[in-house]
Structure formats: C-alpha cells, structure tokens
Structure 1
Amino acid sequence: MTTALITHADCLAHVTPAGHPEQVARLRHVQEALATLDLLRLAAPEAGDADLLRLHPQRYLDRLARAEPARGHAQLDADTWLSPGSVRAARRGVGAALRAVDGVIAGEFANAFCATRPPGHHAEAETPMGFCIFGNAALAAKHALDHHGLDRVAIVDFDVHHGNGTQALLWDEPRALVITSQQMPLWPGSGAPSERGAQDTILNVPLPPGSTGAEMRAAYEAQVFPRLEAFAPRLLILSAGFDAHADDPLAELNWQTEDFGWLTQRLCEIAARTARGRVVSVLEGGYDLAALADSARVHVMELIEAGR
C-alpha cells in the first residue's frame, strides 16, 4: 500500500503579518521537500460545520466567520491572526485529517501525512491560540470514534509546545489516549505529569530545555511506548511538530533530523502491531524553514517505508 499526502492550495491563503513565524513559506518548504517522493497526492476537502461541531460549538464558528477580515488582518489573540481565506484554510486542515482517517480505515492507503496550515493542537473549544484555530488532531480522533466506530484511538504529539488544545478537547474522552512530549518550562505552560485527564487517558512527558534526542528516546522508551502498547489503539494520530529541532528559533530542545525519523519508525512499528499500521500524521509546528523541510521529509519517508 501507499502513503497519502493530503494538502490544498487554500492553506497558502492564510497569510499572517510580516515577521510572524507561522508563515506561508512553512507549507511551501514542506511541499517542496516532499515533491520527489512517491506519494498518493490528494486534495484536502473543506470540513463542514457538522465535522467541526463534534468539538467546537456553533457560536465559535459564527465568531470566526464574523472576525475574518475582507482585507488585511484581524487579530484573535497575541499570536493568532486571520486574513481573508484563513477560516477556509483552517477548515481544509480539519478536512485533510478527516479524509486521512477515512482513507486508512477503508484501506485506500496505508497511512497519511496532512500538510496543511494553520496548525491545530493549541485550539480549545472556543479559544483560538498559539497560531491554531480548530483542533485538527482531536477532531480526527472524534471522527474515527464516532463516525467509524473505533473503540480506541491514540494521539501522540511530539511538537515542542504542549498540545493544550488537544488535551482540553479530549479531557473527558475515555476512548482516546493523548500522549504529549514537550519542553517544560515553555509556553503555554501546561503539560505537567499531574494532568492526567478525567479518565486517566492523558500522559504528559515534559523534557527539560537543552535536552537532546538521546534524552527524548529514553523518555519514549520508558514512558510513551509501554503506555501506547498497553492501550493498543486501533488508529494512531500524530501531531507532527518539528520545532523540537535544535535549529528552531522558538524553543530550546536539541533534537536532530534523524531523531524525528527514529521516532516515526518506532511509532509506526507499534501501529503495525495494534492498528493494522493505520497512522494519520498532521503537521503542527516547526519554524526554521530548512529544519522543518528536512524533518518533514524524513518523517514522511518513514511513513512510506512503514506502508510498504
């Protein structure tokens, strides 16, 4: 089977102010890095209201529609902006993740990478934040659980910033295991090990500033992989942030490109044992353009290898 790449040109229409780290060039660099790989290339559909209402209330959708400017920019919080077309871009991000879930469950393709923006793992039910508008990974998990009837889905978030939105959106969901590794201390300040969820289905793995890929590997071997194996998810969703790279300007972890390859390989091995290899990866952070492109390519190459 093959690996799907799901993306859309609408995600390039989300334009942030000059100098903003979550810029159009991020997606362009990822797309260029993946251009020569053998992938099933699909256009991301636009998520409808019914898809979003699984976790976001109608009043939030209405608020975003009112806030999107006809020209220029509108600021939602200190870090999160809208331009004309931003809401559609965000809906494409959700749509990509749902399309990926549909495809891997149907056996259309082995696994998928969703190259979209804005990212999603900081968005809470009614709170856009940290460059994020909708909870892409969390919505994908709910789609797999509620629409497809899977009984167990896991999300592993290896972005350098804690996925507070994913955690909040799935806090009460016993069928979803949410595992996040993140630098601590670092914005947004959440992600302590004591945050375990209402059903003990949240595992936070803080990593100290300056720590390397070797320390990450040890933490995953000791904490993440055993918990994931024990939960035995029927689908694995990855919040694939590449800002733990040593070159990233927004944080202080020192992972190298090969660390993302190692982590992807090991996670795919677990998915092969528990989930028939079904892996959906959604792009989150990564703000050094060269490091982002290189790391995303290595990540997708491991998905391709796992899907053979």
Structure 2
Amino acid sequence: MVTALFTHSDCDDHVELPSHPEQRARLAAVALGLAGLDLLRLPAPLGDDADILRCHPQRHIDRVRQSLPALGWAQIDGDTYLSPGSLTAARRGVGAACAAVDLVLGGGAANAFTATRPPGHHAEAETAMGFFLFNSIAIAAIRALEVHGLSRVAIVDFDVHHGNGTQALLWDEPRVLFASSQQMPLYPGSGAASETGAQGQIVNVPLRAGTGGAEMRAAYAAQVFPRIEAFQPELILLSAGFDAHACDPLAGLNWREADYQALTGRICDLAEQICDRRVVSVLEGGYDLPALAASVAAHVGVLQERGA
C-alpha cells in the first residue's frame, strides 16, 4: 500500500497579500518538506456543488462566487480575501479531501495527505472566515457517511486554532466524533471543554499558551485517544494544522517536529487497531515556512511508514 498526496497548482492562484500569513509560499514549503518521500502524487480534482452542499447552502457558494473580483483582490471577512482564482482553489481543496477519502476507502492507498489552500476548518455553513471559504474536512466526513455508507467517522483537529466551523457544522451529527486541541484564549474564541455537541460527540482540549509536547501528549492520551477507541470509527480524518509549532508567529504553543511525529504515530496506531489503517489528513494552518516544511515532513513521513 502507499500514501497518496493530493495537491494542485490552481491553489497558487488564491489571493496573496503582502504580509498576509496565508500565502502561496506555504505550499512551496510543503512541497519542499515532502520532496524526498515516495508518495503517490495525484492532482486534486475540482470539488463539485453536490459535495459542497453537504455542508454549505447554495447561497454561500453564490456569495463567494459573486464576491470574486475581476482583478486584484476583494475582502469578504475581516481577514479573508478573494482573488479571481480563489473559488477554483477552494474547490480544489474540497475535491482533494473528497478524492482522498474515496481513494483510501476504495483501497487505492492506505492513507492520504492533501496539500491545498485556502484551508477550511474555520468556515461555517454561511460564513467564510479565518482565511477559509469551504470546510473541506467536514465535507469529506459527510461524504464518507453518505456516499460510502460508513456509520462512524472521527476527526482529530490539532491546529493551534479551534476548528469552530467544523464543530458548528457537525454539532448535531452523532456519526462524527470531533476531537480538537487548541490554544485558549486565542482566535476564534470557541473550543471550551464545556462545548460537547448535541450528542456528546465533541471533545475539546483547550491548552494554555506555552504548552509543550509532553503536556500535549498527556492530554491526548487522557482525553482524546480513549474517546476514539470507544467510538470505533471506520475512518479517521485529520485537520492537520502545524501552527502549534514553537516558531509559528500566530500563536504561542511550544510543539516541535517530534511532537507531530509522535502524535501522528499514535493516531496511526489507533487506525491500525480500529479501521484498517485508514487515515486522511488535510492541511490546515502553519505559517512559519521552515517549521511548516519540517513538521509536514515529520507528519507525512509517519503516514508513509505506517501505510507501507
């Protein structure tokens, strides 16, 4: 078996503003980090409306389309901008996540990683925010349930910022366990331990500024991994943000590459025990370019090793 990598050059056409942290150089850093790995490299297809509509109403798609500028850039939220190629780039993100789920569940790869931009986990049903337009990870989870007929899917979100959009979209969905660690207080302000979902299927692990790898690993061992074991998912999805790294400029956690490596390894252990190694990882944040390259290399290196 192999590890698949989905990406596409269309993602370079999403807006890049001077000094904005979400820039096309992020994907160049990811490519650099993965250059030495033997991966099944595939082009990310365009996500279609049918998949986007599993989580977002048509008026949200229409609003994004109508907000696209003919030239230059347009602002759609306080820190979310569009360029003429942004909708196509965002569709590549949705398409990559859905195609990765299809490939892994179809037995074409043991696991997969998608490297696209803009990221997705802050996008709510009708709100583009936090650099994000469509919530690819939530869309992929619902596709796994409704197209592939799975009964249970788990999402683990280790981005430093809480996946408020994923939580909101899946708040009433008992077939998805959403487990998230995040620095608190920090943007977007959600993610308290008391936020547990309509069916008790949401696990939030807030971490104070300065939290290092040892504390993170202990928190996951105590609060996240037992819930995954009890839930027995048939697929594990990862919102793989690398902005908890000590060098990242947007937050204040103190993780290192070895921590991402260890966390990925433990998740792969669970996947091997529970769901035939099936893991799909979707790139979210990570804004220090050298740290992003090294952290993605550590993360995907484990996926490759464990998927072989």
Who is 1:137 aligned against?
A: 137
One-letter amino acid of the structure 1 residue matched with residue 302 of structure 2? E
CA distance in 2, matches of 1:252, 1:29: 21
Question: 3-state SS of the aligned residue for 1:76?
Answer: strand
Partner of 1:246: 246
Which residue is equivalent to 1:151? 151
Q: Deviations over 1:1-31 (max 9, x none)?
A: 0000000000111122111000010011101
Counterpart position of 2:194? 194
Q: How far apart, CA to CA, are the structure 2 residues paired with 1:199 and 1:225?
A: 18
Give the residue type in structure 2 aligned to 1:109: A
Q: 1:285 aligns to what?
A: 285
1:63-74 superposed matches below 5 A: 63-74=63-74
What is the count of residue pairs matched by the alignment? 308
Distance 1:296 1:53 in 2: 30
Map 1:235-274 onto structure 2 (within 5 A): 235-274=235-274
Structure 1 equivalent of residue 124 of structure 2 = 124
1:127-183 deviation line (CA, Å, top 9, x unaligned):
000011001100000000001000000000000000000000111101000000000
TM-score (ref. length: structure 2): 0.99
- Give 1:193 shift: 0.8
| 1:173-212 to 2 correspondences below 5 Å | 173-212=173-212
Q: TM-score, normalised by structure 1?
A: 0.99
Deviations 1:62-117 (A, max 9, x none): 11110011111110111100011101100000100000000000000100000111
The residue correspondences of 1:1-308 to structure 2 (distance < 5 A) are 1-308=1-308
d(CA) in 2 for partners of 1:284 and 1:151?
25
RMSD: 0.6
Distance 1:84 1:28 in 2: 21
Secondary structure of the equivalent of 1:299?
Answer: helix
Aligned structure 1 segments of 4 or more residues deviating by more than 6 angstroms: none
C-alpha displacement of 1:279: 0.2
Q: Output the CA distance in 2 between the equivalents of 1:159 and 1:81.
A: 21
Give % identity: 66
For structure 2, list consecutive stretches of 5 or more residues without a partner in the other structure: none
User: Which amino acid is 2:98 matched to?
Assistant: L
